[in-house]
Amino acid sequence: MSDEAAQREADEAFMRQALALADEAAALGEVPVGAVAVRDGQVVGRGYNRREIDRDPFSHAELLAMREAAKAVGAWRLSGVTVYVTLEPCAMCAGALVQSRLSRLVFGAVDPKAGAVGSLYDLATDPRHNHRVEVTGGVLAEASRERLKAFFQGLRARK
Amino acid sequence: MSDEAAQREADEAFMRQALALADEAAALGEVPVGAVAVRDGQVVGRGYNRREIDRDPFSHAELLAMREAAKAVGAWRLSGVTVYVTLEPCAMCAGALVQSRLSRLVFGAVDPKAGAVGSLYDLATDPRHNHRVEVTGGVLAEASRERLKAFFQGLRARK
């Protein structure tokens, strides 16, 4: 297997863990977004969107995963850490990737309305910032989109 | 006194509280940035930068003040809340203002290197987002700049 194929296989395996966390969010009535933070092939942080339950506007999946990773690493710098998240991060979360000096971001579906890693902005790769994040988008994007679609269809059906 | 003058006076009074919190950060060896969140003329959240102490990349002054405000308000939506912060917010924090549906932001000094409310970006007022924040910049800016300057001069002197 080529290095590239091995990387893709590893990315998909971690993204499946993020998708499973998105399902946990959906089960709680939250918009289904999940994330894992990985260092040296080990998961060091997990999170899923829990904004309503926590009553906290910052309880986005990738922020929670990064905060848990920072605790595991024992520092606020997340050098060497990759975050896998099922949806393109918003401006807050993309800014947080830069703040935490994250090495790499892998995301699933794009978010044309609020995404800040290619859609509305390119915050993670802006050369004016003091840190840039390596980005891979579109990993298991369809699986992420399906979950979001099912969630919002369910919301409309209940109204 | 005109409405405008009364508003300016109130803004400066709350900014002085934010500056006092910046001094607490400096006393702990943190970059001196402070913030208060205000609703109906009452302070409902306070924060100062404590990134190093907390080992948390998200422990920026205004995020901590907003989180405390969300707890006080009992909801993640910070409608009717004004945040006063001594330094122009970074992309993460500016995105967080939008995420939390904050009504108004008042900041002190501009941050030409990382500011996202006028300097590098205009995240708080982007018409493509589902929420826009009213922004007033430059309130007691000199007092904020002096604190930052003294802090970084002190750092260099210790090296």
pLDDT class of A85 with cuts at 50, 70, 90: very high
pLDDT > 90? residue A114: yes
Q: How many CB atoms lie within 10 A of CB A142?
A: 10
Instruction: Give pLDDT, residue A115.
Output: 97
Contacts of B128 in chain A (CB under 8 A): 113, 120
Q: What one-letter code names the amino acid at B119?
A: S
pLDDT at A155: 84
Q: Tens digits of per-residue pLDDT, B79-91?
A: 999 999 999 999 9
pLDDT at site B56: 84
d(CA A145, CA A153): 12
Query: For residue B116, which residues of chain A lie inside 8 Å, CB to CB?
Result: 91, 95
Q: What's the confidence (pLDDT) of residue A57? A: 83
**Cβ distance of B93 and A91 shorter than 8 Å:** no
Give A-chain residues touching B59 at CB under 8 angstroms. 76
pLDDT at residue B39 is higher than 90: yes
- At residue A37, the pLDDT reads 98
Considering CB atoms only, which of A56, A59, A96 is closest to B92?
A96
Amino acid at the residue B57: P
Residue A126 Cα, gap to closest chain B Cα (Å): 10
Name the residue facing B92 among A55, A71, A95 (closest C-beta). Answer: A95
Phi and psi based region of residue B80 (left: phi greater than 0; alpha: psi -120 to 50; beta: remaining) = left
- Count how many pairs of residues, chain A against chain B, have C-beta atoms within 8 Å: 113
Distance of alpha carbon B52 from alpha carbon B36, whole angstroms? 20
Residue given tokens 């300016």 in the structure block: B8
- The question of whether B62 is a catalytic residue gets the answer yes
> Of A113, A114, A129, which has the smallest distance from its Cβ to B114's Cβ?
A129
For A17-61, write each residue's pLDDT tens digit.
999 999 999 999 999 999 999 999 999 999 999 998 988 888 999
Q: CA B26 → CA B34, B39, B141, B150, distances in Å?
A: 10, 27, 17, 9
What's the whole-model pTM score? 0.93
Q: Cβ–Cβ of A55/B63 closer than 8 Å?
A: no
Q: Which residue of A has its CA nearest to B60?
A: A99
Report residue B137: phi and psi, to 5°.
-110, 170
What interhelical angle do B61-73 and B91-99 show, nearest 10? 10
Looking at residue B57, its pLDDT comes to 83
Please choose, from the candidates B13, B14, B31, the residue with its C-alpha nearest in 3D space to the C-alpha of residue B22: B31
Statement: residue A157 has pLDDT above 90 = no
A138: left (phi over 0), alpha (psi -120 to 50) or beta: left
- Whether the per-residue pLDDT at A108 is higher than 90: the answer is yes
Quick one: pLDDT at residue B155? 84
What is the least distance, in Å, from the CA of B19 to any CA of chain A?
23
CB contact under 8 A, A126 and B120: yes
Nearest CA-CA partner of A56 in B62, B99, B67, B35? B67
For chain A, the helix, strand and coil percentages under 3-state DSSP, each to the nearest 5: 45, 20, 35
Flag whether pLDDT at A159 surpasses 80: no
Closest partner residue to A57 among B60, B90, B99, by Cβ? B99
pLDDT of residue A22: 98
Cβ of B96 within 8 Å of Cβ of A51? The answer is: no
